[in-house]
Structure formats: structure tokens, C-alpha cells
Structure 1
Amino acid sequence: MHSVPLDHIGIQLYTVRNIMATDPQGTLNALGAVGYATVGVSGLYGHTPERFRAMMDTAGVRAVLTHTSWDAMNADVQRELEIARILGVRYVVVPSLPGSLRTVAGYTHAAAKFQEWGIRCRGAGMKFLFHNHDVDFAKVDGKVLFDVLAERTDARFVNFELDLYWIIKPGYDPVAYFERHPGRFPAFHVKDMAANGSFEDLGYGTIDFPRIFARYAQSGVREYVVEHDTPRDALLTARRGQEYLATVTF
């Protein structure tokens, strides 16, 4: 029987974005007090990277990844890597692609850019990841767009933060992807799904996380990052997520 390592349980700060905007230090402190070891950064809320890092240090949490954007990476990769270095992250993540790229040719172009950025990240001592949504599993001209990214990138430089909700929602099986692309999923967005298909707090929904987590060696997962896009009570959602990951066995 296995469990999630406590020091690899995190939360994407997007989940608590509304309270981060008004009280970032208090929010980070609360997340640390709940038991989170790590966070995924979703913007700096007007603070410098140095100030944001200091707030995380005060709260006793460390950033394992940061979400930047396709446009920001295209504009100035070096600046994004410098921000990531200050934050202390291991993974630099592009969380979505522009709708204008939603073709096989567009995703082929994105894969080539990811390769470039992955090489730059590796040179800076970090790793590059792409985070999926359901649209990335659309089939265009008979090809699943996500597959273009996986097949046209080198695992030495480009891997994936797999959002478990957004791969399951369009009808795909994470385990099948672990089998096809072993070791390429070092981070999970652990997001649960209600019976009606909407977002749900961890452990209160329908996704069989133990089945997915049991393939930890095959997936390559290291970081388990709680996320909920529209929580009613963000800190309650956060507490439930940490408690679920801290106690689930597989």
C-alpha cells in the first residue's frame, strides 16, 4: 500500500485567487497551516518575484511550479526563467494555448516552440511542462491535438502537468496515456468531478484517484497539486484537498 508523500502535496494558487488578491500573506499562511508543503504559482498579484518568494518563505511553503503564458514566453523567455529562478520552482508551465493554434499545424508549431523553451529551461536547471484543458483533447483532422504535442516533443525537454479533470471530462483515460508516454507526467492537477460533470472538492466527486495514483512509477508523477476552478469556500476546498491527498492510499 502506498500514499502520497506529504512533502509533495501542493495547491494551485488559482484555487484561492480571490483571497490571494486581498490578503496574500494571510492566505499563504493559512495554506501552510492546513499542511500544504508546496504551491503552484498563478501570477504574482502585483508583487515582485522577490517579495512573493519572501511571503512563501514566511508561510513555510515552497513553489514547485509557476504558470506563465504562451505570450509571455514568446515575448521574453529569459525574463520568465529569471522570475522562476527567484521563486525557486522546478517546473515552468504554460497552462494553455491560444485558440488560434487549435489545428494540427498550430499544435505542431507549439511543439517546436516547447522544444526550444524546454532546452532553455534545462539549461537554467528547470523543466518545462504544458498543462492541458479539455480542448487539447479535441480531434482535428483525425488527430487528437494533445497527441501532437506528446509525439513531436522530446521527453528530455518537454513534459506535462496533467490536469486529471480536463483529460477525463472529454472521455480520455490518464492511465492509457501513462502507458503510451511513460514518465512524462511529473505533476498532476488533482481536480475532482461531480456527478453532473462540474468541479468538486477532492474526495467528494467521482474520479477514481487511487487507480490513477497507483501508476505513479509509470506516470512519473512527483507533485500532486490540488485545484478547483470555482470553489464556494476556497479555504474549505483547500483543507479538504490536503486531507484527501494526505490520507488516500493506493
Structure 2
Amino acid sequence: MTTSRRGFLKVALGTGVVASGLNGTSAAADPPPHSSDQTRVPLDHIGIQLYTVRKLMATDPQGTLNALGTMGYATVGVSGLYGHAPEKFRDMMDTAGVRAVLTHTSWDAMNADVQRELEIAGILGVRYVVVPSLPGSLRTVAGYTHVAAKFQEWGTRCRSAGRKFLFHNHDVDFATVDGKVLFDILLERTDARFVNFELDLYWIVKAGYDPVAYFERHPGRFPVYHVKDMAADGSFEDLGHGTIDFPRIFARYAQSGIREYVVEHDTPRDPLLTARRGQEYLAKVRF
């Protein structure tokens, strides 16, 4: 790590976040990076989750990151370091001209050593530390109530370190258990100063829920989207080639609190083609 980067991290780790009220006023989130009359995705906030290109990252991480930067991606979401030290991974991203805005850790890793996860996040330079899934054993009202308490704890630690804590949803998080939607427990039992959400648009739609309805009930709590499309048969599809009405969702940018648009596809046949289609769609879509 260079001296200048150490200096940057020292400043970043000491940076506080302005406090706001409980449970999701829009003031709790950063202001969206859109102008008041904007009808397009800001180009410097278009990213891709590296999980989409994980097979390529495993064999040629620098070449893959270079290709993504050449396509026009400004940012990436980190999905593991592929055997590299965080300092080396940061150097590869710098070389490719992309910046990491988030890193996916895990429930187990955060329980084991929050401080280490925050140190890695600092080296990578990310804004958001994300838990992307939960153990199935927690899929009860009591389990998600426990999760909410842990998220509060981790979110407080993230805020103290100049980071922000997010949870990424799957469709199972919208299961109704004992009359309660599990995802709603996380929203209602956490403070928007400390806990917010990376909303996977495919999985919320797959579960039968409307993202816009969640923006209306919990404004400002969704600073990151996983922009993932759905085929007519309900499977994954390249962005812009499926059925999800993204312009309708994107038009609510001020209400959602969105800052980062992150392309993802779980099972792409041609990862770089999928990546290119995703960047091109987000660069041209209007809403």
C-alpha cells in the first residue's frame, strides 16, 4: 500500500456520517447523484458485481477487470478476492480504472471478525459493506429479529469506520412467516443511520413484490440496486433483454435513495457479452 493510500484510509476511517431519524427517512441516505430533472443513469455510477464474471476472475482477474473498464464500467462490486491480498486486488482495480463501491462479505465472516472485514473494506476503498445472504436456519420471525439486532451492531461499527452497512435480498427474504414478511422485520427493526439495503430487483420481483411500493414505505433506504433482468419463464436474462420495467423503478431515484446501479447475472452463458449488454443498457436507458 502506498503512503498516499494509507493517508486516504486514515481520513476515511475517521469520517463520520451525519445522523438522521429512525427507520428510513430519506435524510438518512446520501442524496442521489442525479440532477433534479435527470432522466438517465449517471455514467459514473454504473457498475457490475464481479460475481457475474467470476469464472473469468478466477483465471485472469487483471484482464477481466481491464475488459470491464474498457466497456465503460466506472465501478465494481467485489465478490471475493480470488486468492489475492486486498492490497493486490485494489492495485488491479486501480490499473483497470475501476473503483469498488461495495464488497460482499458474509454472515459468518462478520460474526467471526467485524474489524477484519472493515479493514479489508478500507483497503479496497468501498463505501458499502454488504451481507448478501443469511443462513436458512434463521428464516423465522425470531431469527430475523436476531439478524436485525446484529445488523444494528455491525452498522454502528461500519459508521464509526466511515463505511455503510447494507443487506442484499433474495426471494426467500420475502417469505411470510407467522403473518410477517421477513424482509419487513429488517426494515422495521433497524435504524436507517446504520442499516440500509442493496435491493436485488430480480429477486424482489421474483418474490411477487413491487420495489416502488417499498420505496414509498421506506424512502431513502435503497442506495444500491442489483440490476438483474428476468426472462419470460422467470429465469435470469441479460439486462434489457427481459421483462422487468426498469424505467418505472429508476424514475423513483429520489424516493429510493439510489446511488449505485450494479449489473448482475447469476448464470451468464457468455459473461463478457452479458457485461457489455448491461453497461450499454444502463448507459442508454431513459426514465
TM-score if structure 1 supplies the norm length? 1.00
- In 2, Cα distance between the equivalents of 1:97 and 1:247? 35
Q: What residue is the counterpart of 2:29 in the other structure?
A: none
Matching of residue 24 in structure 1 with residue 67 in structure 2: no
- Aligned positions of 1:130-141 closer than 5 A: 130-141=167-178
Kindly provide the amino acid, as one letter, of the partner of residue 26 in structure 1.
G
Q: How well do the aligned residues superpose, as a CA RMSD in angstroms? A: 0.4
- In 1, Cα distance between the equivalents of 2:240 and 2:150? 37
State the shift of 1:226 in Å: 0.0
- In 1, Cα distance between the equivalents of 2:65 and 2:179? 44
Q: What residue is the counterpart of 1:247 in the other structure?
A: 284
- Aligned positions of 1:1-250 closer than 5 A: 2-250=39-287
TM-score if structure 2 supplies the norm length? 0.87
Identity %: 89
State the shift of 1:99 in Å: 0.4
State the shift of 1:170 in Å: 1.1
CA distances 1:134-154 after superposition (whole Å, capped 9, x unpaired): 000000000000000000000
Gaps of at least 5 residues in structure 1 are: none
Secondary structure in 1 aligned to 2:156? helix
- In 2, Cα distance between the equivalents of 1:146 and 1:16? 28
- In 2, Cα distance between the equivalents of 1:207 and 1:155? 27
Kindly provide the amino acid, as one letter, of the partner of residue 51 in structure 1.
K
- In 2, Cα distance between the equivalents of 1:98 and 1:238? 29
State the shift of 1:27 in Å: 0.2
Kindly provide the amino acid, as one letter, of the partner of residue 192 in structure 1.
D
Indicate the structure (1 or 2) with the bigger Cα radius of gyration.
2
State the shift of 1:88 in Å: 0.2
CA distances 1:19-77 after superposition (whole Å, capped 9, x unpaired): 00000000000000000000000000000000000000000000000000000000000
- In 1, Cα distance between the equivalents of 2:130 and 2:217? 22
State the shift of 1:129 in Å: 0.1
Kindly provide the amino acid, as one letter, of the partner of residue 81 in structure 2.
L
Secondary structure in 2 aligned to 1:207? coil
Gaps of at least 5 residues in structure 2 are: 1-37
